[in-house]
């Protein structure tokens, strides 16, 4: 049985990975600063803080494969994504890990954005390490786009960079691909993982609005600068790699179908 450590085990990707790894017969160790909710049931969980460097030894004890999903896009990305990755790799080298998998993001070399620059630096650190590694770049998860739209949904007008191009993908499908690569043989760089369709943010927002039965106007909010220009050019997409099959429309339908019974959702009146 492969002993696999998942860092960032409480995150979006980490949460999707844990049951899939278990189903694929991995012995899963979950790590993050706060325990996943299922810890109360039955889970090999280690408290790991990549900034403090605490918990590394216990996290890596007897581990064959590491899937390093811990990240801090809204926090100190240099400390977590760069320095934290360095610390984790050093411990993984000491533990003779057979395959260190690093999920990353499509287009980070061409999109000047500090989080992406830190992800790029982390990829280099991973590739230059003394252990076999696998880097899997994916496009934005559906849930990530939905959370961004949730944050404007209460505004009377939705100001959005409507021309930015996105290829949203189902996190479960990304997790399935990562699990396929979580073997004792590393793959270096895998094919890019993108969703089935490329949409403008304007189109994604319209579908989101229609699914929720809302009527707020979507207005183009041009964000100047090279970052948004890169998104408009389509650098965050990979048209030749459409491994994901779940469309944005299907994902939204599922999200709101499963919320239909929740009182808070029912209470939201169309506006």
Residue spans of alpha helices (H) in 3-141: 12-23, 56-60, 77, 85-94, 114-127
Piece of 4-12, 204-212, 218-226, 257-265 that binds ligand NAP (CB under 6 A): 4-12
Give me 12's structure tokens: 């979006």
Give me 63's structure tokens: 């581990």
Do 212 and 30 form a contact (C-beta atoms < 8 A)? Answer: no
216 binds ligand NAP (CB under 6 A): no
Query: What gap in Å lies between CA 46 and CA 247, rounded to an integer?
Result: 35
- Of residues 21, 50, 82, 252, which one binds ligand NAP by CB under 6 A? 50
203 binds ligand NAP (CB under 6 A): no
Piece of 133-141, 150-158, 215-223, 235-243 that binds ligand NAP (CB under 6 A): 133-141
Q: What residues does 54 pair with on adjacent strands?
A: 49
Secondary structure of residue 205 in the 3-state scheme: helix
- Of residues 46, 59, 101, 138, which one binds ligand NAP by CB under 6 A? 138
- Of residues 4, 14, 160, 186, which one binds ligand NAP by CB under 6 A? 14
Give me 263's structure tokens: 């009182």
149 binds ligand NAP (CB under 6 A): no
Least distance (Å) between residue 242 CB and ligand NAP: 15
Secondary structure of residue 222 in the 3-state scheme: coil
Characterize 29-47 residue by residue with b for buried, 16 or more Cβ atoms within 10 angstroms of its Cβ, and e for exposed: bbbbeebbeeeeeebebbe
195 binds ligand NAP (CB under 6 A): no
Least distance (Å) between residue 158 CB and ligand NAP: 20
Residues 51-80 that bind ligand NAP (CB under 6 A): 51, 69-73, 80
Do 65 and 29 form a contact (C-beta atoms < 8 A)? Answer: no
Q: What residues does 47 pair with on adjacent strands?
A: 32
Residues 76-115 that bind ligand NAP (CB under 6 A): 80, 84, 103, 105
13 binds ligand NAP (CB under 6 A): yes
Under the rule (CB under 6 A), what is the footprint of ligand NAP?
A: 7-14, 32-34, 48-51, 69-73, 80, 84, 103, 105, 119, 138, 140-141, 144
């Amino acid at each position: 049985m492969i002993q696999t450590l998942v860092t960032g085990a409480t995150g979006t990707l980490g949460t999707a990975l844990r049951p899939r790894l278990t189903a694929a017969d991995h012995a899963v160790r979950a790590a993050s600063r706060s325990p996943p909710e299922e810890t109360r049931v039955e889970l090999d969980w280690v408290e790991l803080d990549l900034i403090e460097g605490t918990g590394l030894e216990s996290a890596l004890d007897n581990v064959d494969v590491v899937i390093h999903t811990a990240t801090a896009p809204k926090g100190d990305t240099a400390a977590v994504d760069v320095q934290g990755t360095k610390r984790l790799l050093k411990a993984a080298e000491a533990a003779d890990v057979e395959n260190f998998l690093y999920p990353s993001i499509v287009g980070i070399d061409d999109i000047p954005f500090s989080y992406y620059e830190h992800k790029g630096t982390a990829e280099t650190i991973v590739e230059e390490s003394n252990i076999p590694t696998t880097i899997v770049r994916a496009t934005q998860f559906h849930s990530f786009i939905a959370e961004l739209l949730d944050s404007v949904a209460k505004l009377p007008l939705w100001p959005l960079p409507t021309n930015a191009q996105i290829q949203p993908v189902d996190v479960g499908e990304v997790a399935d691909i990562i699990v396929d690569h979580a073997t004792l043989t590393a793959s270096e760089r895998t094919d890019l993982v993108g969703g089935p369709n490329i949409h403008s943010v304007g189109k994604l927002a319209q579908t989101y609005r229609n699914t929720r039965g809302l009527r707020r106007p979507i207005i183009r909010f041009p964000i100047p600068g090279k970052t948004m220009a890169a998104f408009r050019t389509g650098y965050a997409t990979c048209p030749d790699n459409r491994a994901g099959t779940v469309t944005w429309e299907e994902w939204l339908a599922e999200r709101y179908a499963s919320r239909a019974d929740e009182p808070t959702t029912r209470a939201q009146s169309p506006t």
